[in-house]
Amino acid sequence: MQNPQLTPAGAATWKHHVSPVRLISQRLLAVVILTVVGYTLMDFPVASTWIATALGIYLILLWRYPSLWLVVIPTLLPVLDLTPVTGRIFFTEFDLLILTTFASGLLQKDPWIAPLRLNWKRWTLIFLLIFWQAYTVWKGLFPIQPIDANAFTSYYSHYNSLRLAKGFFWALLLLPLLGQAMGRGLPVARLFLLGVIGGITADLLAILWERALFSGILNFSKPYRVTGFFSGMTTGGAPLDAHLIFSLPFIAALFLVWRSRWVHLGGFLLLLFALYGLAVTFSRTNYAAVIIAISVGLAVWLYVSRHTESAHHGTGWYLLGIILLALLVSSPFISGEFIKHRFSTVSSDLASRFVHWHSALRMMEDDPESKLLGMGRGAFPRHYYWSHPQDSLPPTLRHAREDANGFLRMDRSGDSSDLFLTQRFDIPEPGPYQLSISLRPRTDQPTRLLIEICERLIYQSYKSCQWMGINSGEKSSEWINFNKKFSVKKLGRSYWYGSRPVQISILNRGLAEGLEIDNVQIITPSGKRLLGNSGFDDGLDRWFLYSGNHLGWHIKNIWVDTYFEGGWLGLAIFTLFITSSLLISIARVRQRDSFPLFHLPALAGLLVVGLFDSVLDEPRLTLLLFLSTWILLARGLTLPIPIPVHSLGTALSVRLFRLFRRFRRLPPI
């Protein structure tokens, strides 16, 4: 088979007349969208020029190669995350990428819907999904709260429903662009496969870089859990685990779709690397998810072999040999002391999860409407907050303003959970640095604020942090400025591949009373000021939230989560979605289509991770799931069952099985 080519615009094979009025309307809409993107970049906290330049180049490339997005979006999905430096969690640079992509589709005059060839059953499923998402957004959004500096900076906000739902609606915007690509006669499925493989490669490179900086690449005993570039990991979500598990089965395409020996060698290395990445997450569910995904993939292949007369068994055995060899070679990845400790706490952790799920269900209002239609998208964090007694409410961080002065308002810690506000800064010169901060107590009672200086990427710090305690004044009407000196001698050490990010964190830990904070600044020996938005005049831009209480933000079960947000109706639609994916996959493999060989194991692995985490809390994961689903639903979009591999592949598979059997006969060490 030939590798997929990105056919230039104008090579369309689907004949369709577009009226001038419609073409002008959609191009005007494209201009409006691009104007919104440009206006957003004018106020973007960091790297606005670089992002604008990159999006401009991307838009030009899309004009020439309109289907390039099928590769670019899945590839950038796990690594295009600047939230730790921008502080923006609701509308990010990845959203700008999606809007630019959609605008490029509006500029084209190719047909949108007709090439998809969806029958009424599949349209019904799509409309049910739209209804489910739209209603849960409406339920979570209302009553509308005032738009202020906290509306789009807090997970407690009613607008959190929009943040969580945008992944599905971004995928919905890309559905017509998928039709455009099909109308041009392009190998859409293979382009998407390249994108997903590019995405897991980028994700694994980020993991390798993180491990090199923080724990050592081959150190499996140090209790350090990787996060990659998923900023959502800071509240304990599982987007990294879900992305790795979902993308893992697509590596098989390198063996089943492409025949090159070099591609197969690269595929084996990538598979081995992926197993390494899953191992160093130290998430126990991932290990079970890998086994389930592989088992489902093999089951689908056996089904293909039985129900297609000319299916080639040699290819399947060849791939099975590759997988067994990769598992054998990667076994040392899970032999460290830390993972043994993780497995020793399975029973207690599982018991706490059951308690948490039961508590989430008890938070639901006891009326027929809530049971049938749920509590709304993104509503769990605020319901969790109000489920506590008044004297033990979880901590909060809010932006406040007096006249023209903005500042941070930190409530006392009612329970034992931690809530930090962090910002990264560089180390441009040696010498003693100075922390300057202004404090004002909420009452006429003094309190003590903790500040830490750490090396941290997203979640876990490197070694120990430097701590500074500051006692506030006793008058709630006075701002008092404090100065503390600290050393940066061992911070931010540079290597040829980068340096560990250094950050300041403002903690609520041990805060006896509420406190107001302003003018936070780090000053170098030469007088240079390193922190942006130090006075909080631009809301919480440049500041990044960190929480030590993971259960306060996630239900941590995809089924309980779906029921909580959408009730029995939402759970029924989600179950129908999963069932339809299975039935459509079976129908497509009978037509000698190999795309379900990758989609079904990916979906199965994702559902296993979802047994213990709310994987759809990350919009980018939701986008990837539904984009893969659109390809599954589109009729006429097939990826033929691969032809037999060359004789070297068959011979290699036999040798791999012999090696594995010989290894099994070795005496125990």
CA nearest 11: which of 176, 187, 175?
A: 187
Given a contact cutoff of 8 angstroms between Cβ atoms, the answer to whether 27 and 69 are in contact is no
Residue owning tokens 């931690």: 418
The answer to which of 147-151, 185-189, 220-224, 394-398 has the lowest mean pLDDT is 220-224
Given a contact cutoff of 8 angstroms between Cβ atoms, the answer to whether 105 and 176 are in contact is yes
Predicted local confidence at residue 446, as pLDDT? 81
Cα dihedral across residues 42, 44, 46, 47: positive or negative = negative
Using alpha carbons only, give the angle 110, 114, 118 rounded to the nearest 5 degrees: 145
Residue owning tokens 């979500």: 237
Going by their DSSP bridges, the two strands 448-455 and 502-507 should be labelled as antiparallel
Using alpha carbons only, give the angle 392, 396, 399 rounded to the nearest 5 degrees: 150
Q: What is the pLDDT of residues 176-226, one digit of tens each?
A: 999 999 888 888 889 999 999 999 999 999 999 999 999 888 888 788 889
Is residue 413's pLDDT more than 70?
no
Q: What is the pLDDT of residues 239-269, one digit of tens each?
A: 999 999 999 999 988 888 877 888 888 888 8
Q: What is the pLDDT of residues 416-433, one digit of tens each?
A: 567 889 999 999 998 899
Among 125-139, 217-231, 382-396, 587-601, top mean pLDDT goes to 125-139
Mean pLDDT of the chain: 86
User: What proportion of the chain, given as a percentage, has pLDDT over 90?
Assistant: 51
SS (H, E, C) 200-262: HHHHHHHHHHHHHHHCCCCCCCCCCCCCCCCHHHHHCCCHHHHHHHHHHHHHHHHHHCCCCHH
The DSSP-derived string for 462-509 is: SSPPEEEEEE--S-TT--EEEEEEEE-TTSS-EETTEE--EEEEEE-T
For 565, half-sphere exposure in the C-beta direction (CA atoms, 13 angstrom radius) is 32
The answer, as to whether pTM is greater than 0.75, is yes
For residues 349-365, average pLDDT: 90
Is residue 657's pLDDT more than 60?
no
Query: pLDDT class for 651, splitting at 50, 70, 90?
Result: very low
CA nearest 91: which of 174, 152, 173?
A: 152
Helix, strand, coil share of the chain (percent; to 5)? 55, 10, 35
Cα dihedral across residues 187, 275, 604, 296: positive or negative = positive
Q: Considering all CA atoms of the chain, what is the largest pairwise distance in Å, rounded to the nearest integer?
A: 84
Greater confidence (306 vs 541) lies with: 541
Cα–Cα distance for residue pair 247/240, rounded to 1 Å: 11
Residue 572, classed as helix, strand or coil, is: helix
Cα–Cα distance for residue pair 149/151, rounded to 1 Å: 6
Is residue 592's pLDDT more than 80?
no
Predicted local confidence at residue 315, as pLDDT? 63
Predicted local confidence at residue 317, as pLDDT? 64
Given a contact cutoff of 8 angstroms between Cβ atoms, the answer to whether 383 and 467 are in contact is no
For residues 4-8, average pLDDT: 46
What strand order describes the sheet that includes 405-410? 397-402, 405-410, 515-523, 432-441, 480-487
Cα–Cα distance for residue pair 589/302, rounded to 1 Å: 11
Predicted local confidence at residue 129, as pLDDT? 96
Q: What is the pLDDT of residues 552-586, one digit of tens each?
A: 899 999 999 999 999 999 999 999 999 999 999 98
Cα-Cα end-to-end distance for the chain: 46
For residues 520-534, average pLDDT: 95
User: Using CB atoms within 10 A of its CB, is residue 416 exposed (0-12), middle (13-18) or buried (19+)?
Assistant: exposed
Which residues lie below 8 Å from residue 345, measured CB to CB, with a gap of 6+?
none
For residues 269-289, average pLDDT: 89
DSSP letter for 146, please: P
Length in residues, the chain: 669
Is residue 328's pLDDT more than 80?
no
Which residues lie below 8 Å from residue 135, measured CB to CB, with a gap of 6+?
373, 566, 570
Greater confidence (73 vs 638) lies with: 73
Cα dihedral across residues 281, 284, 285, 286: positive or negative = positive
